[in-house]
A and B are shown apart, each in its own frame.
Chain A
Protein backbone atom coordinates (compact mmCIF):
# COMPACT_ATOMS: atom_id res chain seq x y z
CA UNK A 1 0.00 0.00 0.00
CA UNK A 2 1.36 3.39 -1.03
CA UNK A 3 2.11 5.82 1.81
CA UNK A 4 2.87 9.47 1.23
CA UNK A 5 4.58 11.72 3.77
CA UNK A 6 5.10 15.45 3.60
CA UNK A 7 7.68 17.35 5.59
CA UNK A 8 7.50 19.84 7.17
CA UNK A 9 3.88 19.81 8.34
CA UNK A 10 3.94 23.58 8.78
CA UNK A 11 6.20 26.41 7.72
CA UNK A 12 6.20 30.15 8.46
CA UNK A 13 8.61 32.37 6.57
CA UNK A 14 9.11 36.04 5.73
CA UNK A 15 8.30 37.25 2.26
CA UNK A 16 11.03 36.78 -0.32
CA UNK A 17 12.49 33.53 0.94
CA UNK A 18 13.07 30.55 -1.32
CA UNK A 19 11.29 27.47 -0.01
CA UNK A 20 11.61 23.71 -0.32
CA UNK A 21 8.69 21.41 0.44
CA UNK A 22 9.25 17.67 0.56
CA UNK A 23 7.12 14.70 -0.38
CA UNK A 24 8.20 11.08 0.07
CA UNK A 25 6.47 7.88 -1.00
CA UNK A 26 7.04 4.23 -0.18
CA UNK A 27 6.34 2.48 -3.49
CA UNK A 28 8.41 3.71 -6.42
CA UNK A 29 6.14 2.08 -9.03
CA UNK A 30 4.24 5.25 -9.83
CA UNK A 31 2.60 6.73 -12.92
CA UNK A 32 2.91 10.34 -11.86
CA UNK A 33 3.09 12.77 -8.97
CA UNK A 34 1.00 15.91 -8.77
CA UNK A 35 1.38 18.97 -6.54
CA UNK A 36 -1.67 20.95 -5.42
CA UNK A 37 -2.41 23.96 -3.27
CA UNK A 38 -5.48 24.25 -1.09
CA UNK A 39 -6.79 27.46 0.40
CA UNK A 40 -8.74 27.11 3.68
CA UNK A 41 -12.11 25.43 3.15
CA UNK A 42 -11.67 25.30 -0.61
CA UNK A 43 -10.94 22.70 -3.26
CA UNK A 44 -7.51 21.80 -4.59
CA UNK A 45 -5.77 23.69 -7.37
CA UNK A 46 -3.31 21.75 -9.51
CA UNK A 47 0.16 23.27 -9.63
CA UNK A 48 2.40 20.78 -11.41
CA UNK A 49 2.20 17.23 -12.73
CA UNK A 50 5.35 15.16 -13.15
CA UNK A 51 5.14 11.95 -15.14
CA UNK A 52 7.17 8.97 -13.94
CA UNK A 53 9.55 9.38 -16.90
CA UNK A 54 10.28 13.02 -16.08
CA UNK A 55 12.76 14.50 -13.62
CA UNK A 56 11.20 17.93 -13.14
CA UNK A 57 8.54 20.40 -14.14
CA UNK A 58 8.50 24.17 -13.90
CA UNK A 59 5.73 26.75 -13.82
CA UNK A 60 6.63 30.35 -13.06
CA UNK A 61 8.21 30.52 -9.61
CA UNK A 62 7.49 26.84 -8.96
CA UNK A 63 9.76 23.92 -9.75
CA UNK A 64 9.03 20.32 -8.84
CA UNK A 65 11.52 17.48 -9.08
CA UNK A 66 11.00 13.73 -8.93
CA UNK A 67 13.45 11.02 -7.89
CA UNK A 68 11.57 7.73 -8.17
CA UNK A 69 14.46 5.57 -7.01
CA UNK A 70 14.61 7.34 -3.66
CA UNK A 71 10.84 7.86 -3.45
CA UNK A 72 11.03 11.63 -3.19
CA UNK A 73 9.71 14.77 -4.77
CA UNK A 74 10.56 18.36 -3.95
CA UNK A 75 8.54 21.50 -4.62
CA UNK A 76 10.70 24.60 -4.80
CA UNK A 77 9.03 27.99 -4.46
CA UNK A 78 11.19 30.95 -5.43
CA UNK A 79 10.84 34.42 -3.92
CA UNK A 80 7.81 33.56 -1.78
CA UNK A 81 4.90 36.01 -1.50
CA UNK A 82 2.04 36.36 1.01
CA UNK A 83 -0.31 35.08 -1.71
CA UNK A 84 1.55 31.78 -1.61
CA UNK A 85 0.11 31.13 1.86
CA UNK A 86 -1.89 27.89 1.60
CA UNK A 87 -1.60 24.17 2.24
CA UNK A 88 0.47 22.32 -0.33
CA UNK A 89 -0.34 18.66 -1.03
CA UNK A 90 1.33 16.06 -3.13
CA UNK A 91 -0.53 13.12 -4.66
CA UNK A 92 1.02 9.97 -6.04
CA UNK A 93 -0.71 7.86 -8.67
CA UNK A 94 0.54 4.33 -8.15
CA UNK A 95 0.93 1.68 -10.78
CA UNK A 96 -1.93 -0.79 -10.84
CA UNK A 97 -4.42 0.98 -8.58
CA UNK A 98 -5.02 4.25 -10.47
CA UNK A 99 -5.95 5.80 -7.12
CA UNK A 100 -4.10 9.01 -6.23
CA UNK A 101 -2.76 8.82 -2.67
CA UNK A 102 -2.34 12.12 -0.88
CA UNK A 103 0.06 13.31 1.77
CA UNK A 104 -1.23 15.30 4.76
CA UNK A 105 0.17 18.50 3.30
CA UNK A 106 2.48 21.33 4.32
CA UNK A 107 0.75 24.41 5.72
CA UNK A 108 2.66 27.47 4.52
CA UNK A 109 2.38 31.01 5.88
CA UNK A 110 4.35 33.76 4.17
CA UNK A 111 4.23 36.96 6.20
CA UNK A 112 4.99 40.42 4.82
Chain B
Protein backbone atom coordinates (compact mmCIF):
# COMPACT_ATOMS: atom_id res chain seq x y z
CA UNK B 1 0.00 0.00 0.00
CA UNK B 2 1.45 3.36 -1.02
CA UNK B 3 1.86 5.85 1.79
CA UNK B 4 1.12 9.55 1.80
CA UNK B 5 3.10 11.20 -0.99
CA UNK B 6 4.05 14.87 -1.14
CA UNK B 7 5.56 16.90 -3.93
CA UNK B 8 7.83 18.63 -4.51
CA UNK B 9 10.40 17.46 -1.97
CA UNK B 10 12.15 20.80 -2.05
CA UNK B 11 11.04 24.16 -3.39
CA UNK B 12 12.96 27.43 -3.53
CA UNK B 13 11.09 30.69 -4.11
CA UNK B 14 11.71 34.38 -3.65
CA UNK B 15 9.70 36.83 -1.58
CA UNK B 16 6.38 37.76 -3.14
CA UNK B 17 6.12 34.63 -5.31
CA UNK B 18 3.52 31.90 -4.95
CA UNK B 19 4.13 28.28 -3.95
CA UNK B 20 1.94 25.22 -4.55
CA UNK B 21 2.47 22.02 -2.61
CA UNK B 22 0.70 18.75 -3.34
CA UNK B 23 -0.38 15.77 -1.28
CA UNK B 24 -1.78 12.38 -2.23
CA UNK B 25 -3.36 10.54 0.71
CA UNK B 26 -3.36 6.81 1.31
CA UNK B 27 -5.97 5.11 -0.86
CA UNK B 28 -9.31 5.18 0.94
CA UNK B 29 -8.39 8.04 3.26
CA UNK B 30 -10.79 10.97 2.96
CA UNK B 31 -9.26 13.42 5.46
CA UNK B 32 -6.15 15.50 4.74
CA UNK B 33 -4.39 17.72 7.25
CA UNK B 34 -1.68 20.28 6.52
CA UNK B 35 0.88 21.37 9.11
CA UNK B 36 3.76 23.85 9.07
CA UNK B 37 6.95 23.02 10.94
CA UNK B 38 9.32 25.98 11.03
CA UNK B 39 12.88 25.48 12.25
CA UNK B 40 12.94 25.02 15.99
CA UNK B 41 9.17 25.22 16.30
CA UNK B 42 6.52 22.61 16.75
CA UNK B 43 3.90 21.50 14.25
CA UNK B 44 1.40 24.27 13.62
CA UNK B 45 -1.98 23.26 12.20
CA UNK B 46 -2.79 24.92 8.87
CA UNK B 47 -5.81 23.32 7.21
CA UNK B 48 -8.06 20.28 7.40
CA UNK B 49 -10.03 18.90 4.46
CA UNK B 50 -12.53 16.07 4.57
CA UNK B 51 -14.74 14.75 1.77
CA UNK B 52 -13.73 17.68 -0.44
CA UNK B 53 -14.64 20.40 2.05
CA UNK B 54 -12.50 22.66 4.20
CA UNK B 55 -13.46 21.71 7.75
CA UNK B 56 -11.13 23.89 9.78
CA UNK B 57 -8.16 26.20 9.44
CA UNK B 58 -5.47 27.26 11.85
CA UNK B 59 -4.35 30.72 12.85
CA UNK B 60 -2.68 31.61 9.55
CA UNK B 61 -3.33 34.55 7.21
CA UNK B 62 -5.65 34.13 4.18
CA UNK B 63 -2.69 33.93 1.80
CA UNK B 64 -2.45 30.31 2.98
CA UNK B 65 -5.19 28.42 1.15
CA UNK B 66 -5.84 25.07 -0.39
CA UNK B 67 -8.34 22.62 -1.72
CA UNK B 68 -9.17 18.95 -1.86
CA UNK B 69 -9.97 17.27 -5.14
CA UNK B 70 -12.62 14.58 -5.83
CA UNK B 71 -9.92 11.88 -5.57
CA UNK B 72 -9.10 13.28 -2.06
CA UNK B 73 -5.68 14.58 -3.06
CA UNK B 74 -4.98 18.08 -1.86
CA UNK B 75 -2.89 21.11 -2.62
CA UNK B 76 -1.68 23.92 -0.42
CA UNK B 77 -1.13 27.36 -1.93
CA UNK B 78 0.89 30.08 -0.31
CA UNK B 79 0.64 33.49 -1.95
CA UNK B 80 2.85 36.55 -1.49
CA UNK B 81 5.61 34.50 0.10
CA UNK B 82 7.47 35.93 3.07
CA UNK B 83 10.82 34.87 4.49
CA UNK B 84 9.15 33.41 7.58
CA UNK B 85 7.17 31.00 5.38
CA UNK B 86 10.35 28.96 5.05
CA UNK B 87 9.49 25.67 6.71
CA UNK B 88 8.78 21.99 6.30
CA UNK B 89 5.17 21.53 5.21
CA UNK B 90 3.70 18.23 6.27
CA UNK B 91 0.59 16.54 4.99
CA UNK B 92 -1.21 13.77 6.84
CA UNK B 93 -4.21 11.65 5.97
CA UNK B 94 -6.66 9.52 7.90
CA UNK B 95 -9.72 7.44 7.20
CA UNK B 96 -12.59 9.70 8.11
CA UNK B 97 -12.38 11.64 11.36
CA UNK B 98 -12.14 10.80 15.01
CA UNK B 99 -10.41 7.72 16.26
CA UNK B 100 -8.21 6.82 13.30
CA UNK B 101 -4.47 6.66 12.81
CA UNK B 102 -2.91 9.76 11.29
CA UNK B 103 -0.31 8.94 8.60
CA UNK B 104 2.21 11.56 7.46
CA UNK B 105 4.06 12.14 4.24
CA UNK B 106 7.77 12.96 4.07
CA UNK B 107 7.10 16.68 3.75
CA UNK B 108 7.92 19.49 1.36
CA UNK B 109 10.76 21.82 2.31
CA UNK B 110 9.97 25.39 1.22
CA UNK B 111 12.77 27.93 1.25
CA UNK B 112 11.95 31.58 0.64
CA UNK B 113 14.88 33.82 -0.31
Contact = CB atoms under 8 A, between A and B. Distances in A.
Contact of A98 (B35, B56, B105): B56
Nearest to B56: A99
B72 interface: no
A78 to B, nearest CB: 23
Of the four ranges (under 10, 10 to 19, 20 to 34, 35 or more), the interface on chain B belongs to: 20 to 34
B98 A93 contact: yes
A61 interface: no
B45 interface: yes
A105 B42 contact: yes
Interface string A35-47: 0100001111110
A64 B34 CA distance: 26
A89 interface: yes
A102 interface: yes
A34 B98 CA distance: 12
Contacts of B48: 98-99
A105 B40 CA distance: 11
B25 interface: no
A31 interface: yes
B107 A42 contact: yes
Contacts of B92: 44, 100
Interface in A5-50: 31-32, 34, 36, 41-46, 49
A97 interface: yes
A43 B106 contact: yes
19 contacts: A31-B98, A32-B99, A41-B107, A42-B106, A43-B4, A43-B6, A46-B103, A49-B101, A51-B99, A52-B99, A91-B102, A93-B98, A98-B48, A98-B98, A99-B33, A100-B33, A100-B102, A103-B42, A104-B41
Given A42-B107, A46-B104, A97-B56, 10 more contacts: A31-B99, A34-B101, A43-B90, A46-B101, A46-B103, A93-B98, A98-B97, A99-B56, A100-B102, A104-B42
